Amino acid sequence: MKKLGYIIMPFVIAFCFAIGLYKYLEKADAQMLATKDVRGIFSDTVSLVKDKGIYANDYWAKQGDILMMGSSELSHSTIQHPVYFFNTQRSKNMVVPIGRAYTQSLQDASLVGSLDNSIKDKKVVLLISMQWFMEKNGVTPHHFQTRFSPVLFYGFLDNPKISRENKLEYVERVKYLLSKKPGEFKPELLYANYYTKNSTGDKVVKILLKPYFKARKFAVELKDLGITYRKLKEANNLSEPLKKEKEVNWSYERKLADKMARDRVGKNPYLIDKGYYRRYLKGKEKVFENRYGYVNLLKSKEFDDLGLFLDVCKDLDVEPVVVVIPAKGQFYTKTGITKDERFSYYNKVEQLVENKGFKYIDLRNKEDEKYYLRDIMHLGTKGWVDVCEKLYKEFDQ
């Protein structure tokens, strides 16, 4: 009996330590989120706190900050970026850019679906790129796994406001995308596999595995708190809370964007950044000729994922503003994705969004506008000014 005590005791102590650490981190993170200057985290384009966490995003959503979900366009390639307009004390709320290249609709659905339901009037923006729809099967398993977050996964499936139907659709997609080399996400693949099964035997296994998944969920939440803690520790203290001090002068910003673009672009047939043109396009006309002729934008699985994102928003009374970023028409026509095909894609996204009753910002007429894009797919100086101005007005900043 005494021997058994020596074996059990370390586990009891470790259990108590883990609970204590969780409570401590929860309290410390909340305190630091209120007193630290988090703009550095907002500007970080590869932040685990924003892209894969719940705790800090909940805090910012509660404060009324705008959660802007997108992909590679959120990298800081031009001064004109949402953080420049919204996080410089010129708006009522700040912007939290979430996502990086290959963060697509399904990952965004996980994030929205795992936010705290008690937060009212969440401000959500989804920036959609046409490149998401170029793959027939939508996001690839490899890219999805690089963006996958277990804490969001469990948060989504535990959310009582999301319908069973949407959860099953989500689980089926995650199951498929994690099935090849799940690596550290084997527990989530196992959870997804059993989530949809309902035979008596499977129910018994589910009951037996319940404590394990409870522990796993606790562990990934602890990790979210721990990573947030580390990031917040590095941030500077704020002497006083940040408040709006002045307005954005949009006319000045437009002129500045135009001037900066002229320097960046120089002379090239696409009117995009000269560095990008030289590196990827110059002298490669033949390489790109009809290169994407096989692509059928309208049949991509990404539409199902986008539909799921919108359905989840509907379940949770979140009203996202969807911005469809235009593609460089002049380039994509040459690659075999014609204007008709692109406009059919814009129409399909628009219908999908509007049928759910959400707002849609249509930018298709900007496809070939001078300096709107900095390359063939990312917003440039003028593009960001335009999009941010529209959002600034939309959210009454």
Partner 1 sequence: MFVKNFIKNLISNKLLLASIVMTICLVLAIVTFAFAPFKELPFVYREF
Residue 30 binds partner 1 (CB under 8 A):
no
Q: Which residue of 28, 189, 219, 256 would you call a contact of partner 1, by CB under 8 A?
A: 219
Strand partners, 124: 67
Whole-number Å distance between alpha carbons of 127 and 29: 29
Q: Tokens at residue 189, please?
A: 């693949």
Residue 278 binds partner 1 (CB under 8 A):
no
Residues 354 to 393 in contact with partner 1, rule: CB under 8 A? 376
Residue 1 binds partner 1 (CB under 8 A):
no
Q: Which residue of 25, 94, 139, 248 would you call a contact of partner 1, by CB under 8 A?
A: 25
Whole-number Å distance between alpha carbons of 293 and 275: 26
Point out which span in 30-38, 108-116, 140-148, 244-252 binds partner 1 (CB under 8 A). 140-148
How far CA 33 is from CA of 56, 233, 235, 289, 334, in Å, comes to 8, 10, 10, 51, 49
| Shortest Å, Cβ 46 to partner 1 | 8
Q: Which residues contact 171 (CB under 8 A, 6 or more apart)?
A: 157, 192, 195, 196
How many residues touch partner 1 under the rule CB under 8 A: the total is 36
Would you list the DSSP string of 46-95? Answer: T-HHHHS-SHHHHHHHHHT-EEEE-SGGGS-SSS-SHHHHHSSSSSSS-E
Tell me phi and psi for residue 126, to 5 degrees. -120, 120
**Closest to partner 1 by CB, 307 or 329:** 329
Residue 190 binds partner 1 (CB under 8 A):
no
Residue 10 binds partner 1 (CB under 8 A):
yes
Q: Which residue of 43, 93, 145, 330 would you call a contact of partner 1, by CB under 8 A?
A: 145
State the virtual CA torsion across 320, 191, 52, 136 in degrees, nearest 10: -60
Q: Which of 101, 61, 63, 69 is CA-nearest to residue 309?
A: 69
Three-state DSSP at 109 gives helix
**Closest to partner 1 by CB, 101 or 318:** 101
Residues 300 to 329 in contact with partner 1, rule: CB under 8 A? none
Residues 220 to 249 in contact with partner 1, rule: CB under 8 A? 222-223, 225-227, 229-230
| Shortest Å, Cβ 145 to partner 1 | 6
Q: Which of 130, 145, 70, 73 is CA-nearest to residue 104?
A: 70
Residue 150 binds partner 1 (CB under 8 A):
yes
Point out which span in 17-25, 236-244, 253-261, 359-367 binds partner 1 (CB under 8 A). 17-25
**Closest to partner 1 by CB, 67 or 376:** 376
Q: Which residue of 1, 46, 207, 208 would you call a contact of partner 1, by CB under 8 A?
A: 46
Residue 11 binds partner 1 (CB under 8 A):
yes
Residue 283 binds partner 1 (CB under 8 A):
no
Residue 215 binds partner 1 (CB under 8 A):
no
Where are the alpha helices (H) located in the chain, listed in sequence order? 2-35, 39-43, 48-51, 55-63, 82-86, 105-113, 141-147, 150-157, 164-178, 186-195, 200-234, 250-265, 274-276, 285-288, 302-315, 329-335, 339-355, 381-394
**Closest to partner 1 by CB, 145 or 193:** 145
Q: Tokens at residue 277, please?
A: 């043109």
| Shortest Å, Cβ 237 to partner 1 | 21
Point out which span in 11-19, 35-43, 167-175, 259-267 binds partner 1 (CB under 8 A). 11-19
Q: Which residues contact 381 (CB under 8 A, 6 or more apart)?
A: 78, 79, 80, 256, 257, 258, 260, 261, 264, 371, 374
| Shortest Å, Cβ 375 to partner 1 | 9
| Shortest Å, Cβ 182 to partner 1 | 12
Under the rule (CB under 8 A), what is the footprint of partner 1?
Answer: 2-3, 6-7, 9-11, 13-14, 17-18, 21, 25, 46, 48, 72, 100-101, 131, 142, 145-146, 150, 183-185, 219, 222-223, 225-227, 229-230, 280, 376
